[in-house]
Amino acid sequence: MKKLFIASLAAGFLCSSTPAFAQADDAVLGDRGSGMIVDLVLVRPLTFVGSVVGIAAFIVSLPFTAPTGSADEAARELVGKPLEYTFNRPLGDFRNCGADRHPCGGR
């Protein structure tokens, strides 16, 4: 499995025909294909794990945040933003979320 993962990343970078110069409005890795491969193979699984950890942390924090009225803010930061970044973002786009392409976590 580890060899397949490394081979997938290497293939994505080797198949890139454009130089990898990131610009403000351009893909993070220089071209959309490489960004999509890295997003699919590496970023999405990691952000999914981060979302699960955030949900667990939110549940543990409830006895402390509920009495102070900050449970909504904790839910937004620990659950909402990670889930939005994982599931509501176009593949390969690391900055914008949703159909309206708002900045991730900016709502």
pTM, to two decimals: 0.67
CB atoms within 10 A of CB 97: 21
Task: Dig out the tokens for 99 from the structure.
Answer: 């159909």
Average pLDDT of 15-27?
A: 42
Task: Dig out the tokens for 77 from the structure.
Answer: 């930061």
pLDDT tens-place string over residues 62-102: 999 999 999 999 999 999 999 999 999 999 999 999 888 89
Ranges 12-21, 34-43, 97-106, most confident:
34-43
Task: Dig out the tokens for 94 from the structure.
Answer: 């690391």
Percentage helix, strand, coil for the chain under 3-state DSSP, each rounded to 5: 60, 5, 35
Buried b (16+ CB within 10 A) or exposed e, 33-51: bbbbbbbeeebbeebeebb
Task: Dig out the tokens for 91 from the structure.
Answer: 């593949």
pLDDT tens-place string over residues 22-42: 444 445 567 888 899 999 999
The residue that leads in pLDDT, 5 or 106, is 106
